[in-house]
């Protein structure tokens, strides 16, 4: 019961703040709305008993990524974007695609009976999911782990290269 109320609250807030992101004019306001949306998302993760993922979401996404966004907004000194003439056909097209996507999604989800089951109970007492995720990661997915490390390295190098002022 509590779970359901929590779900509805945080899900509604998440989608609402998402809508704020795309409707507000000031980019800083958009960034802040996105942060709040991520926080609600982290709450939803907690309701799903994925506490490690929730914390990681807050730390990395809300903490690092969005801060980076704000840095860049400040760096580029972006003001409220001027409103240009609305391209009616493009807007309608976009809305059409979004609407059709939502319709298909709900159609699939509601049509599938296996999605309608209730939250299954966990077997034993709450496990330490950090440990479990760690075990799974390093037992079964050590290669992707290393690959992601290389990816981060190359991203770092790429960012440094791209940020150089000019080619000397």
| Half-sphere exposure (Cβ direction) of 142: Cα atoms closer than 13 Å | 3
Cβ closest to another protein, residue 1 vs residue 168 = 1
* Interface of this chain with another protein, residues 69 to 88, rule: CB under 8 A: 69, 72-73, 75-76, 78, 81-82, 84
- Is 106 a binding residue for another protein by CB under 8 A? The answer is yes
User: For residue 21, what are the contacts with CB-CB under 8 A and spacing of at least 6?
Assistant: 30, 33, 34, 37
CB of 42 to another protein, least distance (A): 10
Backbone dihedral region for residue 120 (phi beyond 0: left; psi -120 to 50: alpha; all else: beta): beta
Report the chain's C-alpha Rg in angstroms. 21
Do the beta carbons of residue 57 and residue 45 sit within 8 Å?
Answer: yes
Contact track, another protein, 119-138, x by CB under 8 A: xx-xxx--x-x--xx--xx-
- Is 15 a binding residue for another protein by CB under 8 A? The answer is yes
Which pair of structure tokens corresponds to residue 102?
Answer: 């939502």
CB of 162 to another protein, least distance (A): 4
* Interface of this chain with another protein, residues 40 to 69, rule: CB under 8 A: 41, 44-45, 47-50, 52-53, 56-57, 60-61, 64-65, 68-69
CB of 75 to another protein, least distance (A): 7
d(CA 54, CA 42): 5
CB of 147 to another protein, least distance (A): 9
């Amino acid at each position: 019961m509590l779970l359901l109320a929590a779900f509805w609250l945080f899900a509604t807030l998440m989608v609402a703040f998402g809508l704020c992101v795309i409707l507000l004019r000031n980019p800083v306001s958009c960034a802040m709305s996105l942060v709040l949306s991520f926080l609600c998302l982290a709450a939803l993760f907690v309701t799903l008993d994925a506490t490690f993922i929730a914390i990681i979401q807050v730390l990395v996404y809300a903490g690092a990524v969005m801060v980076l966004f704000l840095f860049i907004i400040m760096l580029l000194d972006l003001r409220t974007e001027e409103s240009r003439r609305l391209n009616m056909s493009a807007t309608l097209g976009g809305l059409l695609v979004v609407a059709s996507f939502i319709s298909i999604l709900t159609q699939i989800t509601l049509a599938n009976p296996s999605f309608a089951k209730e939250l299954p109970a966990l077997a034993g007492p709450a496990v330490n999911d950090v440990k479990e995720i760690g075990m799974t990661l390093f037992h079964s997915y050590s290669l992707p782990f290393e690959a992601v490390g290389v990816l981060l390295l190359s991203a770092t190098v790429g960012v440094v290269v791209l940020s150089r002022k000019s080619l000397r």
